[in-house]
Amino acid sequence: MKYLTKMAIAITGTAMAGSVLHSETEADVHDYQDTEDHWAKEEIGYLSGQGYLEGYTGGQFRPNQTINRAESAAVFFRQQHLTETDGDFPDVSEEFWASGKIGALQTEGIMSGYEDGTFRPANSVTRAEVAIMLANTFNFDAEAHSEAEFPDIGETDHAYEAVQDVYSSHVMQGYGDGTFRPDKPITRAEFSVVLARSINEDFREELVVTSKTDKLLEAIMEEDFETIADYAHPEEGIRFSPYVFVQADDQVFHSDELRNWLADETVYMWGHQDGTGHAIEKTTRDYFKRYLNNHDYLNPDEQVYNADKNRGNTLNNIREFFPDASYTEYYVSGDEEQYAGMDWGSNILVMQKYKDDWYLIAVVNDEWTI
Longest CA–CA separation in the chain, Å = 78
Instruction: Read off the pLDDT of residues 311-334 as tens digits, 9 standing for 90 and up.
Output: 777 789 999 999 999 999 999 998
Domain ranges for the chain:
26-199, 225-367
The tens digit of pLDDT for each residue in 19-62 reads 333 333 343 446 899 999 999 999 999 999 999 998 998 899 99
| Contact partners, residue 297, CB within 8 Å, separation at least 6 | 217, 220, 221, 330, 332, 345, 347
CB 82 within 8 A of CB 53: no
pTM over 0.85: no
pLDDT of 142: 57
Q: Give 331's strand partners.
A: 302, 346
